[in-house]
Chains A and B, each alone.
Chain A
Amino acid sequence: MSQTTGIDVAEQQEWKGQSTDRKEDGRLLRGEGRFADDWNRPGQLYVHLVRSPYGHARVRSVDVSEAEELSGVVTLTGSEVREQTDPFQQLAPPPGGEMRDYCLAGDRVRFMGEPVVAVAAPTRRLARDAAELVRVDYEPLEAVTTAEGTVADGAPLLHEEVGTNVAWQRTFDWGDIDGALEHADHVVSIDRLHFHRFSSTPLEASAALVEYDEGGGWTLHCNNQMPQFAVMFMAPALRTTTARFRYVTKDIGGGFGIKITSYPYLTILCLLARKARRPIKWTEWRSEHIMGSAHGNERTFLDVRVPVLDDGTILGFDVRALDDVGAYTRYEPLGGVIWSQVTPGCYRFRNIRVDYSTVVTNKTPAGPNRGYSRMQHLWFIERVVDIVAHELGFDPVELRKQNYIQPDEFPYETPNGCVYDSGDYPRMLDLALEMVGHDDWRRRREEARGSGKLIGIGIGTTLDSGANNFGQAQLINPHLPYSGNGEMANARMDLFGEVVLTLGTAPQGQSHETTAAQVAADILGVAPDEVFVRTGQDTGRGVYTGFSGTYASQFAVTGLGAVQGAAEALKADLVAVAAALLEVSEEDVVLADGAAHSKTDPEKSMALGELVGVVHTNNTALPDDLEVTLNRNYLYRPPLSAPDTESAFGNLTLTYAAQLHVCVLEVDEETGQVEILDYVAVDDCGRRINPMVVEGQVHGAAALGIGAVLNESLVYDEDGQLLSTNFLDYKAVTSVDVPDIRMTDIESPSPFSPSGAKGMGEGGGTPLHTVTAALQDVSAQRHGALVTDTHNPAETVHRLLRTEGKPGLQVTSN
């Protein structure tokens, strides 16, 4: 035993709340990260996919004979897929549930870029050359590429077995919207608002190396960000059990939700690996990623009606929403309920009706892109608030404050039973306005008139709901066996006393290793540098549960909740051993500075390494009745219950982070060109585990939103041709496009999470709300035409300034 002074627990440094350096950065900056394309195996074959050049076509014939004449080439066709697999299961009930979705097209292609034939060859170039020898005879069919078009009479039917292009529909009705509309002093009616199609642009496209095991299983070295979701679709399709799959992820270069629905491609690789009896490697080209991975949901809001009282109280809204999810419903129609996690946004709206339809079109299937489904709905809410303010003559700041949920109303139950845990939106707004210099910008806005440049100021308030309750899936289909949430972690001591954490998540830049180490360090009395966190997920050797993965703004709650539980259990083991060896009570033991100490006897302490050695390799010193493993799993389950499926009432998410942005922009009246002059963001994600990490997420989410609202758009022509298949045409946001974003934060701890932290990272698309609000402010200085779309490049702004009247808007007053 070593000599030491007494330990004062209160003086121990707390790592949570510190902006510690990221554990991930060292290897990444040295080029030692291991990404999916870095995996190689002797004898591997490379895959190139033959993809449909048509948005909609019948496949009359497929001839791979010429390709297979090349040495070493193996192919996989849609016919083989239909012999060897069953269609992927569907989440929707009938009719959408009847959809037959396979990993390769059969007799029909339904989006440009849909894979038709897979070609594998000993080199990447040969695979590409061989793919060009595949003959596919197409018969082009009429395509439908808009939500309104696909539900119109006479629209081409995408899936005959479904019988309709409406894959799912439900009307949600809470409160009394008809009564509110009848008794309101004013009703603001908006014909149409449109959330455009864009996506995230991970630096790393999808990739995988798949090996087939002669015992009948597969190992997939990949960058799928939610392998447990993937296996639930792949296993039944491949007519086997989930135990036959081992998913291994390491470093992932961005996911943003898009890498959740890569399972059709992984299925192709599994089939090829089994057919060829060789490892199969596939890496997407950028154009393939843009046209064939997943796009964000495109949503059209029609027939909006908003009842408002004279004092500015907004009573609710009525809307018809068409959600265009592309050609196949893969993660859909979950988006049909996920928006309802944030039904009233940040506001006290009590009367809400949403007639929601999930519709299919001849476009790339949607995936749960960052801010999934909530982003679209929150933009709609903010547009409504902003338009009401402009049209009824209210100050946008005061109208928001009046309608916000107030701090003393938390926890706040929304009309559909979601419980917002904590927050202070008025304070966030005040902070943002002060930070941006709101009064000064208002003065400068007035001074700018007549100069050829117009200044606009916009506010966007949004929520980042985190830690899903998967019971919401039952609101889509009551037969789905999903509810609650969970995440697993393992904490153990290795032979020499190092703390080792294994997570169930598959991070793509969210700093899980760093924050997990901080949490464990605090509990175990070590420094984060003394905690080794395994990179990525490995279902063959690691820990996971059915919900494991990295998605939906939840790691700070579920992942770190699991780490906390595992570390606490490990601590209990260490304390028990220390108490036995130091001959003190367990209550007398404290872990600090990498050792176990007696609080009351400074003579008694033992380094963790020494203590661990007694358990692992020198255990005759252990009492016979002491059962410890120093190897602890923990499954964290958030306190959630299944919602009522009939009334669609219940708590769908555990925590609610919030962001509030203010944007000041300048528009050149001649060209419509937009320049952001100032931009501030206020974040509230409860207790911040690592402020630097939080700020990085806020910054990244803001960049994404700015890119989308001003530059990025996935454009289709009427034949279903995607016209923006590469970075020449899809103007992804870069560092030169993003203004200096000034940030501050408040902390409203969640009463529901283990540490008070709230999940965050998706950002809710705040710039989409904020910039469109600023453009509305600009428009108000001309003719006041409505900003009705999330995508506002220069040509759209130019048109906005020249639109006279307010088409699509009606205000009736009693």
Chain B
Amino acid sequence: MRVEGSSSVQMSRSDLWDALTDPAALSRALSATVAPAAGEGDRWEVIIRPSLGSLGRPRLRATFELVDQQPGEWLRIRMHAIGSENVVDAEGEARLSGDGQSTEVSWEGDVSLGGVIGSVGQRSGRDLVQAQIDQVLRSLSRAGA
């Protein structure tokens, strides 16, 4: 599924960029994280347990990879998360704009849900993914404030 959106984060562009490229900061911001990030460079792994309503909170091992970037401007991230009967694949791009104490973030990407949670994907996957992205940006915003 295609996801896209935009948000305003109460952080300077440079601080936001640092957070988005810091695995530890990102994993702290993601509410589904249950174990801190491990890895180095442009590739890291976290354990997440996203809440999926009646389907519970399946445990997924998520590998993030920073695929491409223009520092301070945009970055492209790929994620592959897999569990005992579920898989999530995503790749997307985030663009930053604005000067001062707040930064505009726009994003777009493709997400596929597989396994048991695939049934969720057809009904509410887009909303779930959007909610996760919004939640990360809000967390970063609170941390910045």
Mark A residues whose CB is within 8 Å of B. 48-54, 112-113, 128-129, 131-132, 134-136, 138, 287, 291, 717, 719, 721-726, 728-729
Contact = CB atoms under 8 A, between A and B. Distances in A.
Nearest to B87: A53
B84 A132 contact: yes
B36 interface: no
Interface in B21-72: 54-55, 58-59, 61
Given A53-B87, A54-B87, A132-B59, A724 B119 contact: yes
A54 B122 contact: no
Contacts of B119: 722-726, 728-729
A721 B82 contact: no
Contacts of A50: 84-85
A567 to B, nearest CB: 49
B114 interface: yes
A724 B119 CA distance: 6
Interface string B107-123: 00000101110110111
A131 to B, nearest CB: 4
Contacts of B122: 723, 729
A113 B87 contact: no
Contacts of A49: 84
Which 9 pairs, one residue from A and one from B, show the smallest C-beta to C-beta distance? A53-B115, A53-B87, A132-B59, A131-B84, A51-B85, A721-B118, A50-B84, A53-B114, A729-B119
Given A128-B84, A722-B118, 6 more contacts: A53-B85, A54-B115, A719-B114, A722-B119, A723-B118, A726-B119
A68 to B, nearest CB: 15
Contact of B85 (A113, A723, A729): A113
A669 B143 CA distance: 56
The A interface is mostly helix, strand or loop, or mixed, namely loop
A723 B59 CA distance: 20
19 contacts: A49-B84, A51-B85, A53-B87, A53-B114, A112-B115, A131-B84, A132-B58, A291-B116, A719-B114, A722-B118, A723-B119, A723-B121, A723-B122, A725-B116, A725-B118, A726-B55, A726-B116, A726-B119, A728-B123
Contacts of A287: 116
A715 to B, nearest CB: 9
B102 interface: no
Interface of B: 54-55, 58-59, 61, 82-87, 112, 114-116, 118-119, 121-123
Contacts of B121: 723
A725 B122 CA distance: 12
B114 A134 contact: no
B84 A134 contact: yes
Contacts of B86: 53
A138 B82 contact: yes
B113 to A, nearest CB: 8
A135 B61 contact: yes
Contacts of B61: 135
Contacts of B115: 51-54, 112, 721
B30 to A, nearest CB: 18
A287 B83 CA distance: 15
A594 B56 CA distance: 58
Contacts of A113: 85
A50 B118 CA distance: 16
Chain A CB within 10 A, most for which of B58, B82, B121 = B82
Given A54-B87, A726-B55, A136 B82 contact: yes
Contacts of B87: 53-54, 138
A727 to B, nearest CB: 10
A721 B114 contact: yes
A49 B85 CA distance: 9
A493 B88 CA distance: 62
Contact of B84 (A48, A721, A722, A725): A48
Nearest to A130: B84
Contacts of A135: 61
Contacts of A717: 118
A399 B55 CA distance: 51
A31 B123 CA distance: 37
A52 B86 CA distance: 8
A134 B123 CA distance: 29
Chain A CB within 10 A, most for which of B54, B114, B121, B123 = B114
B67 to A, nearest CB: 18
B85 A54 contact: no
B91 to A, nearest CB: 14
A637 B26 CA distance: 71
Contacts of B118: 53, 112, 717, 721-723, 725
Contacts of B59: 129, 132
A132 B34 CA distance: 13
Contacts of A724: 119
Contacts of A728: 54, 119, 123
A446 B112 CA distance: 49
A84 B43 CA distance: 39
A132 B114 contact: no
Nearest to B118: A721
A136 B112 CA distance: 18
Contact of A53 (B54, B55, B82, B123): B82
Contacts of B84: 48-51, 128, 131-132, 134
Nearest to B60: A132
A132 B35 CA distance: 14
Contacts of A726: 54-55, 116, 119
A53 B115 CA distance: 4
Contacts of A138: 82, 87
Nearest to B114: A53
Chain A CB within 10 A, most for which of B58, B61, B119, B123 = B119
Nearest to A129: B59
Contacts of A729: 119, 122-123
